[in-house]
Amino acid sequence: MSANNTQGRLSADAKAALLNRMRSTTPGGAAPVAAAATPHYDTSFATLPGFEQLKLMHAATNAFGIPNPFFRTHDVRAGATSVIGGKEVINFASYDYLGLNGAPEVMAAAHGAVDAYGTSVSASRIVAGERAFHRDFERELAAVYGTDDAIVYVSGHAANVATIGTLVGPRDVVFHDELMHNSAIVGTQLSRAHRRWFAHNDLDALEAMLAADRASYGRALIVVEGNYSMDGDAPDLARLVDLKQRYGAWLMVDEAHSLGVLGTRGLGIFEAQGIDPRSVDIWMGTLSKTLASCGGYIAGSKDLVDYLKLSAPGFVYSVGLSAPATLSALTALRLMLQEPERVARLQANSARFLAAAKAAGLDTGAADGHAILPVIVGDSLKAVVLSNLMLDRGVNVLPIIHPAVPNKAARLRFFVTAAHTPEQIDATVNILKEELPKTDAFIRKLAFAGISDMLEGGAGQG
């Protein structure tokens, strides 16, 4: 059959396809590869998990006139009082536990640091950002815990992420309290170590896990908080030390909300419970609470600190802590040690708030009265509504809702400080007792519209 006859029998579409194929034939005569269809990729951020739920929630709360309680703008330095929208309020949303943010000595140290060193060290410490004040601060932090040395990071969150991610890996295991801070959980996830969590402060459960699983892994790390940021309670440190010794594990204690809060001098959980701090392998803390600055630290053995300074990405590849941040935190640390009466005032205020709340019939959960006082209301939307009602009455306190806490465990979280007065505490508890019942009718209305369920059905817990 001739080529002409063959071509004569082809349809017009077939002829066009054949012609295109002939034109695209490579010079060497090899058959061309058919062009693959370009796949469609949806690059919209609206496709991220939970985004649609977030939009629906915002639309629903806006429709019912429920203000967003988050990202409230403060017009002045926020201490025991603040100014929001031009109105002075009693403020229970600050970590400034000892009232050192704005203390004349701390502010003078920051001003002097800017004058002498500028606003940045402009390099990682391993390259060109090392300054004498870094080592002064690290030595004084180490002295608090009786350890060989300390290392300071530019972020408290990064301190946990970088440290845990550097110390453990895929062959290892991390055991942590279920209410452990997000930074420790993220550090564990990024390390690719195996993760085992135990019920909050249930050291029987931890021991059972260690007995069952410890031998299956290389290194083991136990991570707890000295004062839990959601519940304001503390673990049994003596038993944790015993467990880590018996099962060959490192023990890491996050003191972000313990320094300045626990113990006669505010040294933390080891002072409060009479434990030798050298029996804990890794002490972690932040500079943004009691120390009125920004950053984080790890205190421990010389080997630990030397290793982190050469291996932890959050330190090696990050700019060093600025002079104003370092010297203000160092000054705050010295003031804490020189003025234990600040710690005593904080502890008295915390005890007063807890006693008043319990007397008013409020649910304070497991709180021990250590600066963090939750008032549990159960429903997330109820917590949001109550926060707004409190602001209308002149009290700024933020709701903590799912997924930050489990479903039906939503609460208002009060941060008590040494700067609060007894009158402010008593007035706040009375206002809370008056406003809480007012939320019920509003919640019933929203539940009828299905909005309450919408809030509770948010993204899963991390």
At 115, is the pLDDT very low, low, confident or very high (cuts 50, 70, 90)? Answer: very high
pLDDT value of position 403? 81
Mean pLDDT of all residues belonging to the chain: 90
Mean pLDDT of 292-314: 98
Q: Choose, from 257, 370, 382, 402, the residue flagged as catalytic.
A: 257
- pTM score: 0.88
Tell whether omega for the bond before 27 is within 30 degrees of 0, i.e. cis: no
**Active-site residue (options: 134, 176, 181, 289):** 289
pLDDT in tens, 27-36: 455 555 566 7
Examine the residue annotation and report whether 445 is marked as an active-site residue of this protein. no
How far is residue 359 CA from its own chain's centroid? 31
Domain ranges of the chain: 51-97+340-456, 104-338
Q: What is the pLDDT of residues 54-73, one digit of tens each?
A: 787 777 778 778 888 999 99
pLDDT score of 22 more than 50: no
First to last CA, the chain: 71
pLDDT of residue 140: 98
Could you tell me if 289 and 259 are in contact, meaning their C-beta atoms sit under 8 angstroms apart? yes
Note the pLDDT of residue 21.
53
pLDDT at 18: 45
Catalytic member of 229, 350, 380, 387:
229
pLDDT score, position 50: 80
pLDDT band for position 51 (50/70/90)? confident
The CATH code of the domain at 104-338 is: 3.40.640.10
Active site residue 289: yes
Distance of alpha carbon 290 from alpha carbon 329, whole angstroms: 9
Q: Please tell me the predicted confidence (pLDDT) of residue 64.
A: 74
pLDDT at position 371 is 97
Question: Does residue 7 carry a pLDDT above 60?
Answer: no
Q: What is the pLDDT of residue 123?
A: 98
- The arrangement of secondary structure in 51-97+340-456, i.e. its CATH architecture, is Alpha-Beta Complex (3.90)
Region 354-362 average pLDDT: 98
In this structure, the dihedral spanned by the alpha carbons of residues 158, 162, 168 and 174, taken in order and rounded to 10 degrees, is 0
In this structure, are residues 249 and 239 in contact, taking their beta carbons and an 8 Å threshold? Answer: no
pLDDT single digits (tens) 208-265 = 999 999 999 999 999 999 999 999 999 999 999 999 999 999 999 999 999 999 999 9
User: Is pLDDT above 90 for 271?
Assistant: yes
Give the pLDDT of residue 452: 56
Contact 314, 151 (CB under 8 A): no
pLDDT in tens, 166-216: 999 999 999 999 999 999 999 999 999 999 999 999 999 999 999 999 999
Look up 229 and say whether it is catalytic.
yes
**What's the confidence (pLDDT) of residue 13?**
62
- pLDDT band for position 311 (cuts 50, 70, 90): very high
Model confidence at 372, pLDDT cuts 50, 70, 90, reads very high
pLDDT at residue 435, rounded to an integer: 96
Give tens-digit pLDDT for 154-167.
999 999 999 999 99
Q: What's the mean pLDDT in 102-128?
A: 97
Q: Check: CB of residue 32 under 8 Å from CB of residue 19.
A: no
Alpha-carbon distance 372 to 229, whole Å?
7
Tokens representing residue 234 in the block: 């503390």
Q: Given pLDDT bands bounded at 50, 70 and 90, which one contains residue 11?
A: low
